[in-house]
Amino acid sequence: MFEHNAKQIAASAKKLFRDARSNARWRRRECINLIPSEQPTSAYVDELTISEPAARYNEHRRGATFDANASDIRYYQGTDFIMEKELELKAALGTFFRSSRVEPRVLSGQMANDTVFDALKQFRNRQKKGQQPRLIRRALVHDLKKGGHLSAQPMGALKNYLGRLPRTNRPAIDYFPSQKDDPYCIDVDETKRLISACRPGLIVFGRSVIIRRESVREIAEFVHGEFGADNADRPVIMYDAAHVLGLLGPCFQDPLDEGADIVTGSTHKTFFGPQRGVILSNIAPGSAFEPLWCEIEARTFPGHVSNHHLGTMLGLLGATYEMIRFRDEYPEQVIRNAKAFARALHDTGMFVEGDPDIDFTETHQVLLRIHPGGGKCVAALLEANNIITNSQMLHDDPGFAAASGIRMGTQEMTRYGMKEDDFRELAALMAEICADGPAEQVNSRPNGVAALRNRFTQMQYCF
């Protein structure tokens, strides 16, 4: 407990500032950061994020329900500047993702997913006035144990919107079948059979462990042929791009072009933004699904957001301009680095998950397999040596507590200038550290890691 006197509070405030600077110095000058779900923003984006609008509100919604041409009603004065920049943000994101519809007000990828699930429920019930609202009849998603994202699980964001099966009363959810020889790819033929048999209302491509492209085009073409492309009762196809948002395009994949109805994502993993979310679509005007997009906007505000954090929204606009400027360089380098890193780890004798014929990965992520249950121990060992990763349950582990994997990403250190040879050097260091012993016994090479990192402290691909 603090003593509530001016001297104690002032001392605590100074210590907080010193501690924060010390932590920043450690993370940005001494550590190799390989967490695949984060990266810092540029100084340019930081400056925008803490600019004057950060303390303001700009609540607004459509003036006439589901009228695409209606002017927004604004609930605060003094918002001309930030409203102009919000529209600019929508245009910039639309340019980058080749998306005609953009909802940028959601504050995280999880909130983006929750908003879409809520909107889908409302959409399915629009013509059912006076009746008990129906939940989403059935969903097809990736199994959490096989890298699926928590938000698209019965215990995650889907919980409040998912129906139950009549005989068993279990959540009405099915999981993509995997290829027998590659658990990181779905079995397309089995998936088609499952869709025909179960008739889901929602299909979600979305993983937190993602080293392969998703088979969006094949499944979308099948769904459109099986149900009708403009049939409002067909499965809605959603692609959760949280981890790969900044890689979407010619270097990886373009889910909207491949047939996804909705793309959601976090703006701070492989994308350059502060921590926010986004919802994207190319739903055509006048299509059977246009009311779904209207519901997405309505469930964003006033459904899920009041103040949509104007400082980070302004920062996201700056980050999107950075992404547009460097879209031909950054994603390709991230993926090249991941392939080089994975191949180099494999060549040291470490076991890398994935297909060696494609250098083990098609994204920013690289997965190491440690001995059963050894993921947490090795992640701690690496942290003691200034390499930041996270333990990861792999597809054949019994649970997260027995995780045998290490999950890593190349996006942050790519942005600080590391190239293929630098990741090969890192792979050799990691192999030496892992051969030395447990973290509680040995901190063998933190100085070597810090020396490597100290060559890469200036952020690249930024204004």
Same domain, 318 and 333: no
Structure tokens at 287: 């299509």
The domain boundary, picked from 324, 346, 381, lies at: 324
User: What digits encode the pLDDT tens for the residues 173-192?
Assistant: 999 999 999 999 999 999 99
User: What digits encode the pLDDT tens for the residues 66-124?
Assistant: 565 667 899 999 999 999 999 999 999 999 999 999 999 999 999 999 999 999 999 99
The domain boundary, picked from 303, 324, 345, lies at: 324
Mean pLDDT of 280-304: 96
| Per-residue pLDDT at 213 exceeds 90 | yes
Identify the domain containing residue 55 by its residue range: 48-324
Residue 1 lies in a domain: no
* Packing angle of the helix pair 310-325, 80-97 (nearest 10 deg): 40
Same domain, 357 and 429: yes
Residue 151 lies in a domain: yes
User: What digits encode the pLDDT tens for the residues 292-303?
Assistant: 999 999 999 999
CB 36 within 8 A of CB 24: no
Alpha helices in 326-406 (DSSP H): 330-347, 375-384
Tokens 């999880």 locate to 110
Pick from 298, 351, 320: nearest CA to 248: 320
Distance CA 449, CA 10 (A): 36
- Computed over every residue of the chain, the mean pLDDT equals 93
Per-residue model confidence (pLDDT) at position 129: 65
* Packing angle of the helix pair 420-436, 330-347 (nearest 10 deg): 40
More confident residue, 399 or 431: 431
Alpha helices in 169-215 (DSSP H): 188-198
Per-residue model confidence (pLDDT) at position 130: 67
The domain boundary, picked from 282, 297, 324, lies at: 324
Same domain, 394 and 316: no
DSSP-assigned states of every residue in 32-62: EE--TT--PPPHHHHHHHTSGGGG----EEE
Same domain, 174 and 285: yes
Per-residue model confidence (pLDDT) at position 128: 64
Same domain, 147 and 236: yes
β-bridge mates for residue 309, sequence order: none
Same domain, 342 and 299: no
Same domain, 213 and 353: no
User: What digits encode the pLDDT tens for the residues 353-402?
Assistant: 999 999 999 999 999 999 888 999 999 999 999 999 999 999 998 888 88
Comparing 145-149, 278-282, 336-340, 404-408, the range with the smallest average pLDDT is 145-149
Same domain, 312 and 393: no
Structure tokens at 24: 């920043």
Same domain, 239 and 204: yes
Residue 105 lies in a domain: yes
Q: How many domains does the chain have?
A: 2
Domain CATH code at residue 377:
3.90.1150.10
Residue 21 lies in a domain: no
Structure tokens at 290: 């246009």
Percent over 90 (pLDDT), the chain: 83
| Per-residue pLDDT at 442 exceeds 50 | no
| CA distance readout (Å), 291 to 119, 287, 448 | 9, 8, 57
Same domain, 227 and 260: yes
Q: Beta strand 60-62 with 72-74: parallel, antiparallel or unpaired?
A: antiparallel
Residue 36 lies in a domain: no
Mean pLDDT of 201-219: 96
Residue 162, CA atoms < 13 Å, CB-side half-sphere: 25
Domain CATH code at residue 99:
3.40.640.10
Q: Do you know the residue count of the chain?
A: 463
CB 59 within 8 A of CB 74: yes
CB 265 within 8 A of CB 239: no
What is the band of 134 on the pLDDT scale with cuts at 50, 70, 90?
confident
Per-residue model confidence (pLDDT) at position 441: 44
Mean pLDDT of 25-38: 95
Same domain, 111 and 60: yes
Structure tokens at 14: 């100074």
CB 99 within 8 A of CB 256: yes
Distance CA 143, CA 150 (A): 9
Same domain, 311 and 376: no
Q: Cβ of 287: how many Cβ atoms within 10 Å?
A: 15
**Which amino acid does the sequence have at 425?**
E
| Per-residue pLDDT at 440 exceeds 50 | no
DSSP character for 284?
Answer: P
Comparing 130-139, 216-225, 259-268, 443-452, the range with the smallest average pLDDT is 443-452
